């Protein structure tokens, strides 16, 4: 019997995914019926899901084998009490590579002091003063050594940066100095001239950067946050920027999105706002990830990238 797959994403992206998912199913040898509207929820085997649409009650889907998220972040769905089927987050090569490239671009922007020339074209000839260090002499810290954090660390390492990483539990990665736990957090913060946040949003990571921890960074350190908005205490960050403790912050994610037009981040001279564009799920590679999990479900094999509800990611 063909698997019945409901696409519960934004209607605007359905025409693209209808094509890429069907092609991925063919490559995997999957027999499936794919549709974006459901007359009988009790017949659905899998739901391809993005949290920014209308489906929130999963109880009618009594045959559901898994929900396959199109997003890497699952904080808005993993607490849904009506969902009892397995939940898989999106881990696909396109999203991962896109994030690593975005992180590298903004690290290089700060490392080379590019803003000074981009926004300083006022007729004054300014040399490279101070001369920036080479990448091998610049310390970059990454909070979060999951798939996205590790990929970003590897790309920065390839350029030559001194890369350190922090995770809640000990992790080892060749060539990357690893820290964990509360003491390890203090250690990595104290040495990071550029700090990248790629942690999931959980009760344990909310406001991980607050007045105390922001004060542990070297004076004038730079923060790049493509992870989750709630990782940073907004008011504490603004105060640290005003005092000069933090030199600049590039923020791609926020507690409320879209970021309200009157939010002080928009006009602060030491903040760069980007509209949650650090990395997008790409239909071609995402469809391969989804198809593999459906193949596994149909074959009775374990799903990939399952969310641990207790951990929150």
Dig out the tokens for 173 from the structure.
Answer: 């990665």
Tally of CA atoms within 13 A in the half-sphere of 76 that contains its CB: 17
Do residues 193 and 222 touch, judged by C-beta distance below 8 A? yes
- How far apart are alpha carbons 202 and 187 in whole angstroms? 22
Q: Which of 75, 17, 79, 26 is nearest to 47 (CA)?
A: 17
Contact 42, 60 (CB under 8 A): yes
Pick from 183, 175, 151: nearest CA to 166: 183
Kindly name the residue from 106, 168, 228, 305 that is annotated as catalytic. 228
Q: Long-range contacts for 294-303 (Cβ within 8 Å, ≥24 apart)? A: 294/3, 294/5, 294/25, 294/28, 294/30, 294/32, 294/46, 294/68, 295/28, 295/29, 295/30, 297/3, 297/45, 297/46, 297/65, 297/66, 298/3, 298/30, 303/66, 303/86, 303/88
Q: How far apart are CA 241 and CA 232, in angstroms?
A: 13
Contact in structure between 298 and 36 (CB atoms under 8 Å) = no
Which one of 276, 282, 296, 309 is the catalytic residue? 276
Cα angle, residue 57 at apex, residues 298 and 39 outer, rounded to 5°: 65
Sign of CA dihedral 133, 137, 142, 146: positive
Active site residue 177: no
Report helix angle 283-299 to 93-112, nearest 10: 140
Active site residue 276: yes
Question: Catalytic positions, please?
Answer: 228, 276
């Amino acid at each position: 019997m063909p698997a019945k797959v409901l696409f519960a994403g934004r209607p605007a992206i359905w025409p693209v995914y209808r094509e890429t998912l069907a092609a991925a199913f063919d490559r995997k040898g999957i027999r499936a019926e794919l549709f974006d509207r459901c007359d009988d929820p009790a017949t659905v085997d899998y739901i391809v899901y993005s949290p920014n649409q209308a489906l929130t009650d999963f109880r009618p889907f009594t045959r559901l084998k898994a929900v396959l998220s199109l997003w890497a972040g699952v904080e808005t769905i993993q607490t849904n009490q009506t969902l009892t089927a397995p939940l898989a987050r999106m881990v696909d090569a396109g999203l991962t590579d896109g994030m690593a490239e975005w992180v590298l671009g903004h690290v290089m922007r700060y490392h080379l002091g590019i803003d000074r020339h981009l926004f300083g074209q006022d007729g004054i000839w300014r040399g490279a003063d101070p001369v920036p260090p080479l990448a091998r002499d610049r310390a970059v810290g990454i909070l979060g050594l999951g798939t996205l954090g590790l990929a970003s660390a590897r790309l920065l390492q390839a350029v030559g940066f001194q890369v350190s990483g922090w995770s809640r539990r000990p992790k080892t990665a060749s060539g990357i100095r690893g820290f964990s736990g509360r003491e390890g957090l203090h250690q990595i913060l104290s040495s990071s001239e550029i700090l990248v946040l790629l942690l999931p949003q959980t009760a344990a990571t909310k406001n991980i950067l607050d007045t105390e921890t922001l004060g542990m960074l070297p004076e004038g350190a730079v923060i790049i946050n493509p992870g989750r908005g709630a990782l940073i205490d907004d008011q504490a960050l603004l105060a640290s920027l005003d005092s000069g403790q933090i030199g600049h912050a590039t923020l791609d994610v926020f507690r409320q999105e879209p970021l309200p037009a009157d939010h002080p981040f928009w006009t602060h001279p030491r903040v760069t706002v980007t509209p949650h564009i650090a990395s997008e799920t790409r239909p071609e590679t995402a469809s391969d990830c989804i198809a593999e999990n459906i193949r596994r479900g149909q074959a009775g094999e374990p799903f990939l990238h399952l969310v641990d509800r207790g951990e929150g990611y």
